[in-house]
Amino acid sequence: MTKINWEHLENEDQLQHVLEKSSEKTQLIFKYSSTCSLSSMMFNRFENDWQPLTTENINPVFLDILSYRNISNKIENILKVRHESPQILVIQDGKCVYDSSHMGIVFDKIESLFGNKN
């Protein structure tokens, strides 16, 4: 059972809404590929490490890049962050303020930078 209530990103209107919401609440996008074993491993590790009390001011957003590659491409164009998978993007005020990929996806780093911020 997941500890994270993921918002699933499935269209460009949702992406625009995520970017707009980032001025009020930090948005975290996890880009995931179901055909990549590293993606699965990092996703499971991230979910296991997630601490709801310290992340209440972060909105977690899940993007299946195989089903919605067009959205991933749009993110790359808008935020100017090269696409990778797995990848974490932290969005504040419509800008990517932190990104990490592959083995660099570590919950403690996200928490120390963005957790429990008002």
pLDDT of residue 2 exceeding 60, the answer is: no
Cβ–Cβ < 8 Å for 31, 89: yes
Domains of the chain in sequence order: 7-114 (3.40.30.10)
pLDDT of residue 56 exceeding 70, the answer is: yes
Question: Residues 85-108: what's their mean pLDDT?
Answer: 95
Residue 101 parent element (H or E): strand 95-101
Distance CA 51, CA 83 (A): 26
The amino acid at 33:
S
16 φ, ψ (degrees, to nearest 5): -60, -40
Sorted by sequence, the CB contacts under 8 Å of residue 98 that are 6+ apart come out as 88, 89, 90, 110, 113, 114
pLDDT of residue 1 exceeding 70, the answer is: no
- In terms of Cβ atoms closer than 10 Å to its own Cβ (0-12, 13-18, 19+), residue 1 is exposed
Question: Residues 21-27: what's their mean pLDDT?
Answer: 96
Taking the alpha carbons at both ends of the chain, their separation in whole angstroms is: 28
Residue 108: the pLDDT is 87
